[in-house]
Amino acid sequence: MTYHIVAERPQDAALLDPLLDRTFGADRRNKTVYSLREGLAPVPGLAFSAIGAADELLASLRFWPIRIGAAGAILLGPLAVEPALQGAGIGRALVRHGLDTAQALGERICVVVGEPTYYQPFGFASAEAAGLRLPGPVDAPRFQVLELVPGALQAVSGLVGRADGLQKKRRPDRVLVD
C-alpha cells in the first residue's frame, strides 16, 4: 500500500465527516470526547492525512487542545482509516508521526480514549491511575495518557477540560460511554 502522511489539506476537511461516519458510526458525536473538542479547531500543525498515489484521502488523525486542571495538553483523535485499508499499518504510522510532531512542537502531555492494546506500544498508560478524570462516562481502561516530556505529569492531575474553559453538556439520554 503506497501512502504518504501530509499536513491535513483544506480539501480533506470536507471528506472527514463521511470517513468518520464510515469508521465510527453516526452516533459517534455523543461520546464524551466530542464535548471536549466541539466547536474548537485542532491544534495548529497537528492534523494529518494519509493520502494515496492519486492524492486521495485514506486516513486522518487530529489532535485537539485540552486542559488538565491549569495545564495545557492535547487530545489524540479521532484516528480513522478507510475501512478497506485497515490493518495495513497506516493507523500506527499516523500515530507515530503525530506524536513525534507534537513532541517537536513542545507539547507535553497527550490524552487518548481508545483501545489500550493499540496505544500501549506508544507508551500510553492508564490516565485514571495518573489521577486524571474525564467530564463524562468512559470505559476506564480506554482512558490513557502519555508524557511527551518525561515527568510532565508529576504536578498535573484532575479533571480534563476544554481548552476554552467552557462546559458542553451532552444530552444525558444520548451519552455514549467512550
Tell me which residues touch ligand COA (CB under 6 A): 23-24, 77, 79-81, 86-92, 114-115, 117-118
Helix (H), strand (E) at residue 21: helix 10-24
Tell me the longest C-alpha to C-alpha distance in the chain.
47
DSSP letter for each residue of 27-57:
GGGGBHHHHHHTTPPPPTT-EEEEE-TTS-E
**Between residues 65 and 78, which has the closer beta carbon with respect to ligand COA?**
78
Minimal distance, residue 84 CB to ligand COA, in Å:
10
Minimal distance, residue 30 CB to ligand COA, in Å:
16
Minimal distance, residue 149 CB to ligand COA, in Å:
23
Minimal distance, residue 68 CB to ligand COA, in Å:
19
Give the C-alpha separation, 73 to 15, whole Å.
27
**Between residues 69 and 142, which has the closer beta carbon with respect to ligand COA?**
142
Cβ-contact 32, 138 below 8 angstroms: yes
Ranked by CB distance to ligand COA, the top (closest) residue is 91
